[in-house]
Amino acid sequence: MLTTLAIKNYALIDDIRVDFHSGLTIITGETGAGKSILLGALALVLGKRADSSSVKDATQKCVIEAEFSIGAYKLQTVFDENDLDYEPRTIVRREILPGGKSRAFVNDTPVALTQLQELGPHLVDIHSQHETLTLSSETFQLEVIDALAGNASLLQEYQHNLETYKHLSEALSEAKKEKEDATRDLDYNTFLYNELKQAGLDKIDQQDLEETYETLNNTEDIQESLARILQLLSEEQIGSLETAKEARIALGKLRSFSSEYESLWNRLNSVIIELEDIEETLSEKASQVEADPEKLLEIGEKLRVLYALQEKHLVSSVKELLTLQEELEGKIDVTLSMDERIASLEVQVHSQKKITLDKANSLHQKREEAIPKLKEQLEEILKELGLANARFQFELTPSENFRMLGTDRLELLFTANKGLAFSPLKKVASGGELSRIMLAIKAVLSHYKRLPTIIFDEIDTGVSGEIAHKMATIMGTMSRSMQLFSITHLPQIAAKGDHHVKVYKEDSGAVTATRLKTLTEEERIVEIAQMIGGKEVTDSAIAHAKELLN
């Protein structure tokens, strides 16, 4: 429940702090005193988007802080799901900084606004006059029936199964689209793959092929050059090798004269040995070089195909072509195996659809069973509230489509008078009737689920007299099991409160500010008397106020 609310620098509020208690708290005040400001501040704590124009002094920080006692509400899971720090006494704070930037905190930990918006409905249910319009919402109507039917866990299972079904259906649609795209590309990918495969890339050494091709393509020049080199090395008398040998003989005569000549002879001898080896190698090469037109054509064709493939695929190596070949092979394999994957997904989708439909049918069945009970209880409460002939008709019809709350479509029909046909609630119910119906629904719900703190903002609009007294009695009964606030202008309802807070304006110099005050018993008598007879409090008004309070 809400235990404390502190507001600083918001609208007409300078700095106030008020403590609240269990039971029924009445909030009264003249029109324009600031009751809506109080609700606006609380709405910010519950996740409403901040508006810098609502800050009283734009140069100062606006702070709104609410403390809740939630140990009995079993909200640990809600906190965990939204990654929030749980405390039995939870403090929620909103700050609007100068410049308009907003911050939110839960138990002094910064949180995103979305996290606060998820938590808010579990803490406080603010029922404004505008909220009465939700009565016409099919979602709200189904949620009411589900509360009576005890469908919370079943609905959670259904929604989990529905999410799985949607994921599988999306996966199936994507797989079919992929197959359609892949099938369109299959022939082309197969052609490219076969073209690469036929080139025998895994057996090609491009550098070796290019060297062999150059050799075969220049056989005559190579033979002539090798012959000339051999001639220069070994021709009698003028060959380099022969000349070196003659020099070695001459140098050999000097070896015994000094170590320097010995060293020079050794160096020359090494050169001669190297030249002889070179001559031998060149002779072998010369004998191996032969013209081979057929092989030249074969290698030339291989290189032509290789260069064409590299140019086509914008690569420069055989390794890159092999990588591309593997990728194409993978695409072809995926395309060919896609039918099996699609078939498997179709089986899963069909199975999941059946499971989800079974849950939806269970929801429908339990709702059908709960509707007579809800109808009876609503009509009984409305009878007390002056609508003795009010009747409801719930038309619950399964549809072919899965929806967030099942497959059911619901139309709530209503008539307030005998002899009149049933019509959609939003078309035939007056404002006063809608207020009483909403109160009846909240009263019924309070018996079936632990509601958060409820704030009724002038839910008594359009009623008076004995009906107002009955509404107050129902609120009093509800407040025994929950914390309930009622903002009202009716003395009959104000008198039923366990606590009474007055909202009023006060002028301080040139500034008007909104104040809050928890009234004593004597102050309550005066306040209710003023609600009865106006500012001029008469003895009869005082007596009437005391009678209402007693």
Lateral strand order in the sheet of 2-10:
13-19, 2-10, 62-69, 89-96, 102-106, 109-111
d(CA 329, CA 313): 16
Q: Is the pLDDT of residue 285 over 80?
A: no
Q: Pick the residue with more confidence: 95 or 51?
A: 95
Distances (CA, A) of 35 to 17, 457, 474, 484: 15, 9, 23, 16
Q: Are residues 207 and 110 in the same domain?
A: no
- Give the best-scoring range by mean pLDDT among 126-130, 290-294, 298-302, 393-397: 393-397
Last residue of a domain, one of 289, 310, 335: 335
Say if residue 201 is in the same domain as residue 94. no
The residue range of the domain holding 55 is: 1-123+452-519
Q: Is residue 378 part of a domain?
A: no
Quick: pLDDT tens for 96-107: 998 889 999 999
pLDDT exceeds cutoff 70 at 290? no
Whole-number pLDDT of residue 218: 65
Q: Answer yes or no: do 114 and 217 share one domain.
A: no
Q: What gap in Å lies between CA 233 and CA 296, rounded to an integer?
A: 31
Residues 189, 331 within the same domain: yes
pLDDT category at 216 given cuts 50, 70, 90 is: low
In a domain, 441, yes or no: no
Please state, in angstroms and rounded to a whole number, the distance separating the CA atoms of residues 24 and 1. Answer: 12
Min mean pLDDT across 18-22, 242-246, 501-505 is at 242-246
Question: Token pair of 219, please?
Answer: 């056989």
Domain match, 198 and 270 both:
yes
Q: Is residue 437, in this structure, part of any structural domain at all?
A: no
**pLDDT of 316 above 90:** no
Cβ-count burial of 216 within 10 angstroms (0-12 exposed, 13-18 middle, 19+ buried)?
buried
Q: Which of 48, 47, 65 is nearest to 9 (CA)?
A: 65
Range with the poorest average pLDDT among 62-71, 401-410, 457-466: 457-466
Residue 318 belongs to some domain of the structure: yes
Same-domain check for residues 225 and 300: yes
pLDDT-above-70 percentage for the chain:
93
Final residue belonging to a domain, choices 269, 302, 335: 335
pLDDT digits (tens, 9 = 90+) for 497-545: 999 999 998 887 778 888 899 999 999 999 999 998 888 888 899 999 9
pLDDT of 406 reads: 94
pLDDT for the residue numbered 159:
95
Read off the tokens for 199: 């080139």
Whether 209 is covered by a domain: the verdict is yes
In a domain, residue 194? The reply is yes
Provide the domain count of the chain: 2
Residue 543 lies in a domain: no
Q: What is the mean pLDDT of the chain?
A: 86
Give the end of a domain, one of 286, 301, 335: 335
pLDDT confidence band for 235 (50 / 70 / 90): low
Q: What global pTM score does this model have?
A: 0.66
Q: In angstroms, rounded to a whole number, what is the distance separating the alpha carbons of residues 463 and 471?
A: 9
Q: Are residues 249 and 109 in the same domain?
A: no
Range of lowest pLDDT (155-164, 209-218, 392-401): 209-218
> Do both 113 and 232 map to the same domain?
no
Is residue 440 assigned to a domain?
no
Q: In this structure, what CATH number is given to the domain that contains residue 27?
A: 3.40.50.300
Condensed to tens digits (0 to 9), the pLDDT of residues 331-389 reads 777 777 788 889 999 999 999 999 999 999 999 999 999 999 999 999 999 998 888 99
More confident residue, 439 or 331: 439
The residue assigned the tokens 């939003």 is 426
Q: Do residue 302 and residue 229 come from a single domain?
A: yes
